[in-house]
Amino acid sequence: MNEHRSTGRVYGRTALAVAAVVGLGIVGVGTASAAGPSSAQAAPTCSASALKATFGKQLGGGMNHQGVVIRLRNLSGRTCALRGYPGLGLENSAHRALTTHTHWGDTWYAKDPGKKTLVLQDGQSAEAVVAWTHANTGTSGAVHASYLEITPPASKQHKTLAFPEWVDHGDLSVTALARHIDVTD
């Protein structure tokens, strides 16, 4: 019987918390409307189907470091927005997921620009820098990938690009998306 009452209190607190969050959300929406919507608030989030993923500059370097600039180009015919970091995943030649660990922030080649809302008109692009290390092929812990999955922020769908690379322990580092990221090679 005590367990039932305890559970009821938890559900009651949860319901109050949800109501408070919903109430704050409604207040926040009203405030945004009163102040006038910014273009970032008015533009819907870019869906994966609206974007074309491509590789830009290939980045080499010493100490077994490698990297590449990835670009997400809006081809939706409408304005949309992106904010944050792309999700990354490695796949083998049969398109099966490989163990992947994605780290957000600075990479060997570029400083992280931080999360910013990017409003992309049709045809405009955002980019991020992906970096990894690779020891000699076949080294213990090295993952041999054939493809790279790129998931736009706030999306459940991804784009897939050919990526025939060895990646130590499946560890990838990526910067936040930005209009342009300066890289050192």
| Predicted pLDDT of residue 30 | 32
> Does 80 share its domain with 126?
yes
Q: Find the domain containing 120 and state its range.
A: 48-174
| Predicted pLDDT of residue 38 | 53
> Does 81 share its domain with 9?
no
Q: Which residues of the chain have pLDDT under 70?
A: 1-41, 136-139
| Predicted pLDDT of residue 6 | 29
> Does 11 share its domain with 87?
no
Q: How far is CA 39 from CA 32, 84, 117, 159, in A?
A: 12, 17, 10, 26
| Predicted pLDDT of residue 139 | 65
> Does 67 share its domain with 148?
yes
Return the amino acid letter for 134: H
| Predicted pLDDT of residue 19 | 35
| Predicted pLDDT of residue 49 | 97
Report the relative pairing of strands 101-104 and 87-91 from DSSP bridges. unpaired
| Predicted pLDDT of residue 42 | 82
> Does 96 share its domain with 19?
no
In a domain, 130, yes or no: yes
Q: Structure tokens of 95?
A: 């398109």
| Predicted pLDDT of residue 73 | 98
Q: How far is CA 97 from CA 158, 160, 167, in A?
A: 13, 12, 14
In a domain, 116, yes or no: yes
For the chain, how many structural domains are there in total? 2
